[in-house]
Structure 1
Amino acid sequence: MEKSVTRRNFLIGGAAVSGIAALGLVGCSSTESSSGTPTAETGSDQVITPTYPAYARTLDVTEKDIVRTEDADVVVVGSGSAGTFAAIRAAERGAHVIWLEKTTAKGGTSTITEGLTAFDGEQQRATGEASDLNGIYTALMDWHNWGAKTEAFQTYFDFSGKAVDWAVSHGASLVYSGNPKKPHYSPVDAQGNWMNIGTGVLTPLWEYGETLDNLDFRLETPAVNIIVDNGTVKGVYAQEADGIVRINAKSVIMATGGFASNVDMGKEWLRVPAERIKFMSFEGQDGDGINMALAAGAARHAPTTVNYGLTTIEGSAWDSQLTIFTVWCPSWRVDMPDAILPAGKPLPFVNHAGVRFYNEAKLEELNTSMLNTAVSSQKAAFAVFDADHVATYGGFGDFNYGSGISEGDFAKECENSPAVFVDDTLEGLAAQMGIDTTAFTTTIAEYNDHAATGTDADSFGTMPGEKTPVLKAPFYAAKIVACAYGTNGGVSTDYWCRAVNSDGDIVEGLYAAGQDNGSMYFNDYPYGLMGGTCQGGACTTGFVCAESACDALGL
């Protein structure tokens, strides 16, 4: 397939791969061929589709399970940003699309997200300022230790602006930031008030999609298995109330949102204990799209990658006063004048052993992976503070994303949270935390000494002037938990978002978008370096999957 656009000349190589992987029909039976590949058997109970590892949320399908067969040009699995852009764009181009969503509502986690990053859109071009794509590419690849796929960034740079322009032309409200170094787009209403992507972007697209007669959207209809015939994907099996429906299709686009809800899959793939990460994604992100793609012969890419957000206090919202004035110090207040927000120095963090484990002065928004990885690598982690700190951060007004000011009562949140321990002595506090008293009191004494005199050599790079001493009773400790929006590791794809196998050959008929597509990652999500690339990538890959599938159909 020829590309309809010219790739950026700042990159080299990345030629589109071709060819069909000779994978054979993957089945489940008691016999195997001489090559070790399971072979099909005859009979009404024959299993006719791939099987999966124990953590997969999929079903084996037999002939007797199938209540009817349908045909489509394209099946899209998932209805977040990636699935929305894929399904509606493909239908707009004339494909008969069956669009499946396993839950009771459209959108998934995408509905609550804040904005996206895209390059070379109409609004950016109107400013006359182009992004330094060469520099941005190099910075992102450095972030990922050059383990991300070059063609994935080519796709993103070539199509993200087109995807945004297409969405805006169909009613989405996205406003360009004006910063070509970080070309972020925020959804806003007619009065300029911020909206989430669900309201500002997806809802207008869904309303447009309802006008397309060739778009068949189905809620509570999970794809439970994939149809593979001689290495080519031929459709999916979907579960409806009356049984399994076989949907024959020329193209299948997986956009199920990653595997944040699948703890067992996280245990298998992630580099840190998955059960120690608080995923803020919605239920249903079970990795089924990724697992179906792998069963069809696709290779995985960057499986350990996590979309880390801002670390939080256990049981509290990421934007609560309790989280802001314990964990975020000084990240959201570092540039604010003392007259508005005094101090802004970080608190000491200690682990289950009662010792420090991190340079608390590192600004969290610069590398959310760093602190979250450190926290999730501990059996327990706590921010420690005193009465003076509680008094300092009481009484601020409405929360503002620019300054970090929030509405609420910090002292009452400390008092009411089961994740906050308080005592008149450090020894008593250690007992409540369940940690070693001697180690904890020694740690805090050394921390306070370094805050005052700079004599502590073991400071992880934290300078004396960057520390908040813990001196005045009562003393507090708030339990910190790692926090993430979802996972980023997934299927390996080519420039056109077609799934590829471990040899780089295309798995015909199969595409991956959004968080099912891991190609733009290797290390964790680059939150501070280039925030908005997760949603930007989801919209872009969904759009490109539609373009690619429709090109293959000759539409």
Structure 2
Amino acid sequence: MKDGKFVEQAKGMERPLTLSIDIKDNKIVQIKSQTNDMSTLEENTLNKMSNRIIKDQSISVDTVSGATVSSNGILDATQHAIKDAGGNIHDFEHQVQKSEETNDESDNYAKWIKKPSHIDKVENTDLVIVGSGISGLSAAVQAGYEDIKTIVLEKNGFVGGNGLGVEGMMGAQTAMQKKAGINFSKQEVVENELKTIQYQADGSFWVDLVNNTAENIDWLQKQGVQFDRVDDYHHTCPLPTFHWFKGGRGATGYVPFMEKKAKELGVDIRTSSPVIGLIYENKTVKGVYANIDDQVVQINAKAVIFASGGFGQDKKLVHRQGWNTKNMLFVGMKGSTGDAYKMAIAAGAKDAFDRSAPLITNYIQALPLGNGRDLLSGGPALWVNQDGVRFTDESITDRNAILQSQPFKFIKHGYLVFTRKMFAKYEANLQDLTEEQQKSMQGIDQFADQDEERALRILDRSVKENKGNSLYKADTLSELAEKVGLPVDDFVAQTKRYNQYCQNGEDEEYGKDRKFLVALDEDPYYIARLDQSYAISIGGIGENRHFEVIDDNWNKIPGLYAAGIDSAMQYKEIYTINLGGSCCAHCVNSGRHAVMNATEYIKSLD
């Protein structure tokens, strides 16, 4: 290859980067950015990828966890530089030994407490926090105030995790509510939540959480966290509990302030540093193994707090919850693969998987994601199963947005039936978004942006493209049934019965509220297969009220704590989202109190 500096464009998540790639003596010797004002994530990704490429002289190296798009962009740019230099790509495609960045994907969780075959470095600290989302950052700041030596290990290449997309949190009798003239009792919140899950939880978890919300929000504001307002989340909550982060996103109102405060307090936060194992000796947790800067590092710690963001990206675990993952859309953080759950179970933790609740809604592959409370989620539409008959009250979303997906666990396929007139009326706020924008949950709160013509343009284009063979149009009900292979006579008869219910104003099958009874009485007709969009899992690791991980006999596992959505014992299969922000409130509360209790444990060891 000829020597020289080759300027190439590298695709990034938000924008392309301009790279200068130096080649000398048939080797890649330097990869630098010519782009100004690089973000921390862009800098970290470029540094790690350039080091790997140069060290191994290969474009077949591992990508950086949580920065796959940017990593692949750097690899592609390097490949172009090799070509421009007259080199042979195959000379740089040799496979290098994969780092121990992730553990075995099998069900043998024992591997997660096995010491790696080699250790490059050993460090010592008081506390390790695994994850830097809402709960991880809450724990990190609290640890800073407790003045204990703390390392935060984040699998992704950036701080924030699932918390970047969180809109706000629940509060009861907060200063913001009092200022807004909002008044309701704490016990109303507890009662509402327990009724929703049919009292299938230890209510003391709810009492503790609700009693702490006001003080937690006050504490967050002292750290710099910014809130816009408090309300009932688009008039969907029975009580105005929802405290909106500034800009409606944790990425704006929560994460940057908490990260800054944690660092000011001396907390060591390391990104692109996945934990690959738990140090578990003599029935006590004594630290973790992690992959840091391509080295396997043993970190001896007196306590470990799991705050890793659940298992929402592990298809095997999601399927174990009872979901059909064949056409499922996974919209959460890529790094949320249940690592903490697997380590905890390997260490003998109580398996609370059967309690775990998902943040999940329905979607149609051919259409952009809706906001979870529109026609696509049920409401005035007609739902039928593989037999062409109804299987639930389609308006259950009006009571709890997450309920819309629950009946789909028990059928083979579910279909949404609607008319063009219905789509224009009820989907007027549907945003025309790219797939990446949808996965980042953009546009889901644009309730006021109404445009019927835009909605119909999206519908017409989507029918034509028909992504995933999921959306069809027909002039008759019989033809519509044939499009998806439903029993024609049963489907037509069901639709006629439903139309009669709409005309009479009474649903004689499921008692659907008459305000949602809208007849399908005008062609063209449409039918769409409803699949599920999975954002996060909530729960899985058994714990007590002090956020200490417990075993099957409710004995504490010394040194191990769980916060955030790695464990949430107050839920039972259903995320009670009808009182907005309870999960985020739990993440903040559990992060703080896990540290308080871990601090007592650490001091007891001295």
What residue is the counterpart of 2:580 in the other structure?
A: 531
1:206-265 CA-partner distances (Å, limit 9, x unpaired): 12223233x221111111111112111101111234432111101100011111111112
CA contact (8 A) 1:52 1:295 kept: no
How far off its partner does 1:486 sit?
1.3
Alignment of 1:345-364 (within 5 A): 346-362=380-396, 364=397
Tell me if 1:384 matches 2:442: no
User: How far off its partner does 1:284 sit?
Assistant: 1.3
- 1:327 is displaced (CA, Å) by 2.4
C-alpha spacing 1:156/1:394, structure 2 compared with 1 (3 Å): closer
What SS does structure 2 have at the residue aligned with 1:177?
A: strand
Q: Secondary structure at the match of 2:265?
A: coil
Task: Give 1:124 deviation, angstroms.
Answer: 4.3
Report what 2:212 is aligned to: 159
2:480 corresponds to 1:429: yes
Quick one: structure 1 residues 372 and 229, their matched pair in 2 at CA, closer, same or farther if it must change by over 3 Å?
Answer: same
Aligned counterparts, 1:317-328, within 5 A: 317-319=368-370, 326-328=375-377
Report SS of the residue matched to 2:345: helix
Equivalent AA in structure 1 for residue 337 of structure 2: D
Distance 1:183 1:391 in 2: 32
Q: 1:439 aligns with which of 490, 514, 539?
A: 490
Aligned residue in 2 for 1:30: none
Match of 2:559 in 1: 509
Q: Does 1:412 align with 2:457?
A: yes
Give the paired residue count: 479
Structure-1-length-normalised TM-score: 0.78
Distance of aligned partners of 1:210 and 1:274 in 2 relative to their CA distance in 1, 3 Å threshold: same
Distance apart, 1:51 and its partner CA: 9.2
2:570 is equivalent to residue 520 of structure 1: yes
- Cα drift, residue 487 of structure 1: 1.3
Q: Does the aligned pair in 2 maintain the 1:253–1:545 contact within 8 Å? A: yes
Instruction: Provide closer, same or farther for how the CA distance between residues 158 and 496 of structure 1 changes in structure 2, counting only shifts above 3 A.
Output: farther
Q: Which has the higher contact order (CA 8 A, sep 6+)?
A: 1
Further displaced range: 417-426 or 172-181: 172-181
Structure 2 residue 274 is matched with structure 1 residue 225: no
CA contact (8 A) 1:148 1:522 kept: yes
The answer as to 2:272 corresponding to 1:239 is: no
1:526 & 1:143 partners in 2: Cα distance?
6
Please list the CA deviations of residues 290-326 of structure 1 after superposition, one character each: whole Å capped at 9, or x if unmatched: 1211222221325343233443333544436xx7652
Match of 1:290 in 2: 341
How far off is 1:160 after superposition?
A: 2.8
Identify the residue that residue 406 of structure 2 maps to in structure 1.
373
| Matched residue, 1:545 | 594
- How far did residue 181 of structure 1 move? 4.1
Taking the aligned partners of 1:455 and 1:150, their CA distance within structure 2 comes to 37
Change in CA separation of 1:424 and 1:485 when aligned onto 2, cut-off 3 Å: same
In structure 1, what is the Cα distance between the partners aligned to 2:108 and 2:363? Answer: 28
Residues 524 and 549 of structure 1, relative CA distance in 2, 3 Å threshold: same
The range that moved more, 397-406 or 125-134, is 397-406
2:495 alignment partner AA: I
Contact kept in structure 1, 2:168 and 2:584, CA below 8 Å: yes
Separation in structure 2 between the aligned mates of residue 300 and residue 223 of structure 1, nearest angstrom:
20
Q: Secondary structure at the match of 2:126?
A: strand
Indicate how the Cα distance of structure 1 residues 492 and 66 shifts in structure 2: closer, same or farther if over 3 A, else same: same
2:109–2:345: 8 Å Cα contact kept in structure 1?
Answer: no
Higher mean C-alpha deviation, range 483-492 or range 308-317? 308-317
Q: 2:304 aligns with which of 249, 252, 265?
A: 252
Q: Residues of 2 paired with 1:397 and 1:63: CA distance?
A: 49
| Paired letter, 1:413 | I
Q: Please report the RMSD computed on the Cα atoms of aligned residues, expressed in angstroms.
A: 3.1
The Cα of 1:81 is off from its aligned counterpart by 0.3
Q: Which has the higher helix share?
A: 2
TM-score by length of 2: 0.72
> 2: distance between equivalents of 1:277 and 1:56?
25
CA distance in structure 2 between the partners assigned to 1:290 and 1:423 by the alignment: 47
- Corresponding residue of 1:471: 521
Secondary structure of the residue that 2:123 maps to in structure 1? strand
On the 8 A contact 1:313/1:480 being kept in 2, the answer is yes
| Partner Cα distance (1:117, 1:394) in 2 | 28
Give the unaligned 5+ runs of structure 2.
1-102, 233-237, 432-442
Structure 2 distance, partners of 1:393, 1:368, is: 16
Contact 2:287 2:301 (8 Å CA) reproduced:
yes
Amino acid at match of 2:290: A
Matched residue, 2:244: 186
Change (3 A) 1:245 1:51: same
Structure 1's unaligned 5+ residue stretches are 1-49, 189-193, 331-345
The amino acid across from 2:413 in the alignment is A
Structure-2 separation of matches of 1:126 and 1:326? 36
Deviation of 1:494 (Å): 1.9
Q: Deviation per CA, 1:188-217, whole angstroms, max 9, x where unpaired?
A: 2xxxxx33012101111112223233x221
String of CA shifts for 1:43-97, please: whole Å, max 9, x gaps.
xxxxxxx999617596564464211111011100011101111122202321111
User: Does structure 1 conserve the Cα–Cα contact (< 8 Å) formed by 2:112 and 2:343?
Assistant: no
- Residue 302 of structure 1 contacts residue 518 of structure 1 at CA under 8 Å; is this kept in 2? no
Q: Distance in 2 between matches of 1:83 and 1:309?
A: 23
How far has the Cα of 1:158 moved from its partner? Answer: 3.7
Q: For residues 515 and 171 of structure 2, what CA distance do their matches in structure 1 show?
A: 39
Indicate how the Cα distance of structure 1 residues 421 and 160 shifts in structure 2: closer, same or farther if over 3 A, else same. Answer: same
Alignment partners' CA distance in 2, 1:139 and 1:392 = 32
Counterpart CA distance in 2 for 1:397 and 1:353 is 30
Structure 1 pair 239–460 and aligned structure 2 pair: CA distance change class (3 A): same
Residues 365 and 527, structure 1, Cα contact 8 Å, conserved in 2: no
2:99 corresponds to:
none
State the identity as a percent: 23
What is the rounded CA distance, in whole Å, between the counterparts of 2:225 and 2:514 in structure 1? 49
Cα deviation, residue 271, structure 1:
3.8
Match of 1:16 in 2: none
1:77 to 130, 138, 161: 130
